[in-house]
Amino acid sequence: MTKRGPQLDRSVLRLALPVAALGLLLAFNAIFTPGFFTLEWRDGRLYGTLVDILNHGSKVGIVAIGMTLVIATGGVDLSVGAVVAIAGAVAATLASRDAGTPLCVLAAAGVGIAAGAWNGLLVTLLKLQPIVATMILMVTGRGIAQLITGGMIITFDSTSLSSIGNGSIAGLPVPVTMLAVALVAAWAATRRTALGLFLESVGDSAAASWLSGVPARTITVVAYTVCGLCAAAAGLIECSYIRAADANNAGLFLELDAILAVVIGGTALTGGRFSLVGSFIGALLIQALTKTLYMQNVSAEIAPAPKALVVLAVCLLYSPTLRERIRGVLRRTPATGTTP
């Protein structure tokens, strides 16, 4: 009991930074953006800026869930953007040939699982650094996607497939529901079973985990596979939203947003501790920031710059060195009178 109190406190404290940043952003919008919090019920569906943020942030959110698991093992997956492109290309090509929607979804999921497993095997069996291992698929992936689409933008008419990106369940857009399901499933799998503990132990030290009987390699491969599956889900959302597969632009820079969401959420890039809820808040923060910048008439091309500054600021606040220094200054302040 005595141990549980402070631990809970710390995990709540770690979420304080992203939550505070999100709160600041929302407060800014409450003052400067008219109608930001307006919600409207129309044709059995909820509309409004907040719903937009959730809807457009769902791709980053879903990928960030998989990315959190990978980063928890001490790795990183740079190939998610390319996997989005491949999964979208497969689903759209099948749909354009009048395949049923379940087949399209299953094929896209299969592609994601295969891509993730490939990354995981490169990391565990070939012992490549994760950046290098996943960079290979990142470089190759868009080529593979274009191989599938024959270098063209594939369009399709299937209304049932396009309802994934455009439809709604219980008033909320389907992507938001998918994000919620993915978040709850990942949370339950890692916090209600031993899987989360295993992930953290592998991230702390793969060798020590293996010696104490944790199947470190299997855990790592599973993490990358789940990440690939999440990327495939994002690919399905993207291609069904625009009813087309664009091998060049689908999921472009998604890996960056996903990694940033995870980092903002307080998961250390060195592996070990992770927070799925933190990553979710990070994804929301990134999407809300993007939306705010657009609403303040900052062009889509310039928007990355302020985003980068926010990320750098959050990283610096998480940096142990800076914290140590601030703590040192705070401790020294009462004594400054004695030291010249």
Binding site for other proteins (CB under 8 A): 76, 126-129, 131-132, 135-144, 146-147, 150-151, 247, 256, 259-260, 263, 269-270, 299, 301-309, 311-312, 315-316, 319-322
d(CA 75, CA 223): 9
Quote the least distance from Cβ 26 to other proteins, whole Å: 23
d(CA 291, CA 297): 10
Quote the least distance from Cβ 56 to other proteins, whole Å: 18
In the block, tokens 């890039």 appear at: 269
d(CA 340, CA 337): 7
Check: CB of residue 91 under 8 Å from CB of residue 231.
no
- Nearer of residues 299 and 338 to other proteins, judged by Cβ: 299
Quote the least distance from Cβ 326 to other proteins, whole Å: 12
Q: How is the chain split among helix, strand and coil, in percent rounded to 5?
A: 70, 5, 25
Quote the least distance from Cβ 159 to other proteins, whole Å: 30
- Nearer of residues 165 and 278 to other proteins, judged by Cβ: 278
- Nearer of residues 197 and 309 to other proteins, judged by Cβ: 309
- Nearer of residues 51 and 82 to other proteins, judged by Cβ: 82
**Torsion angle defined by CA atoms of residues 118, 111, 167 and 99, in that order, rounded to the nearest 10 degrees:** 180
Quote the least distance from Cβ 136 to other proteins, whole Å: 5
d(CA 174, CA 170): 9
- Nearer of residues 65 and 71 to other proteins, judged by Cβ: 71
Would you state the structure tokens that stand for residue 202, as one six-digit string?
């592998």
